[in-house]
């Protein structure tokens, strides 16, 4: 199995899951700045030109939540409970909430404070963040209320919903996200950091970054 990744939040979820479940995978860092995600060979795998992408035998998959569900189904992990439709629906509700609302609210903070320095895209411009703060606070209140009596987002245990919602929010302290005002969100994010694969999901960079060719795809 191969996982193509860059050092950003969507690949982070998949790489964390791989470490957490102990899955044997070849993790190939794509050189974003050299145009690796837009190379014809990469676009043949993922026409969106985004990371992550998984190749497992005949199966090529993009979208981190779908890749995570595939990995759980393959290994029998209850982080995506294939045998329990009611639990899947509970998790799916939060995956959808993330993709349609939460990720759009935390995304600008993550981009300015994490992505820009990681990929040398210039200084953070915080002027945009003031305008998005009310929406982030509104959604953080929804999540904080939900987590008041819970340690995890869904099913009273670690599921894909936690990795989906936390992939940008986990950077809250240095990305200026206001979660000090939302103690249950802060507690949930901090406790996820007790999971070794979540705290440090990044593979070793022994072989350097690559622009994949069809031969190594
Ligand atoms: N919804 C997709 C998001 C994929 C995505 O936007 N990946 C970003 C990194 S988090 C990316 O590849 N950005 C590089 C680019 O757009 O050039 C998923 O969950 O896999």
| CB of 158 closer than 6 angstroms to any ligand 1 atom | no
Does 90 lie in the same domain as 108?
A: yes
Does 90 lie in the same domain as 59?
A: no
CA distances from 182 to 139, 156, 170, 176 (A): 11, 20, 14, 13
Name the residue with the closest Cα to ligand 1, atom 5. 50
Parent domain of 97: 85-199
Q: Distance, CA 78 to ligand 1 centroid (Å)?
A: 25
CATH number reported for the structural domain that contains residue 148 in this entry:
1.20.1050.10
Does 69 lie in the same domain as 26?
A: yes
Q: What is the pLDDT of residue 128?
A: 82
| CB of 187 closer than 6 angstroms to any ligand 1 atom | no
Does 98 lie in the same domain as 19?
A: no
State pLDDT tens for residues 121-160.
Answer: 999 998 889 999 999 999 999 999 999 999 999 999 999 9
Domain boundary among 14, 41, 75: 75
Name the residue with the closest Cα to ligand 1, atom 6. 50
State pLDDT tens for residues 80-122.
Answer: 999 999 999 999 999 999 999 999 999 999 999 999 999 999 9
Give the chain's domain count: 2
Does residue 198 have a pLDDT over 50?
A: yes
Query: What does the pLDDT average to over 51-60?
Result: 98
Does residue 212 have a pLDDT over 70?
A: no
- Using CB atoms within 10 Å of the CB of residue 29, give its burial: 0 to 12 exposed, 13 to 18 middle, 19+ buried: buried
| CB of 164 closer than 6 angstroms to any ligand 1 atom | no
| CB of 168 closer than 6 angstroms to any ligand 1 atom | no
């Amino acid at each position: 199995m191969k996982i193509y990744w860059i050092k950003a939040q969507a690949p982070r979820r998949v790489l964390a899951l791989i470490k957490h479940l102990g899955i044997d995978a070849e993790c190939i860092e794509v050189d974003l700045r050299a145009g690796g995600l837009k190379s014809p060979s990469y676009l043949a795998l993922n026409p969106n030109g985004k990371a992550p992408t998984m190749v497992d035998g005949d199966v090529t998959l993009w979208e981190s939540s779908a890749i995570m569900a595939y990995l759980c189904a393959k290994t029998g992990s209850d982080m995506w409970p294939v045998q329990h439709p009611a639990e899947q629906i509970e998790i799916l509700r939060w995956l959808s909430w993330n993709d349609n609302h939460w990720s759009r609210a935390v995304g600008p903070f993550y981009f300015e404070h994490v992505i820009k320095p990681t990929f040398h895209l210039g200084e953070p411009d915080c002027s945009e963040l003031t305008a998005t703060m009310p929406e982030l606070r509104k959604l953080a209140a929804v999540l904080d209320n939900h987590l008041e009596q819970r340690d995890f987002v869904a099913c009273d245990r670690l599921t894909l919903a936690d990795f989906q919602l936390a992939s940008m929010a986990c950077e809250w302290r240095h990305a200026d996200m206001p979660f000090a005002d939302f103690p249950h969100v802060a507690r949930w994010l901090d406790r996820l950091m007790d999971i070794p694969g979540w705290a440090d999901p990044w593979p070793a960079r022994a072989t350097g970054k690559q622009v994949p060719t069809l031969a190594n795809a």
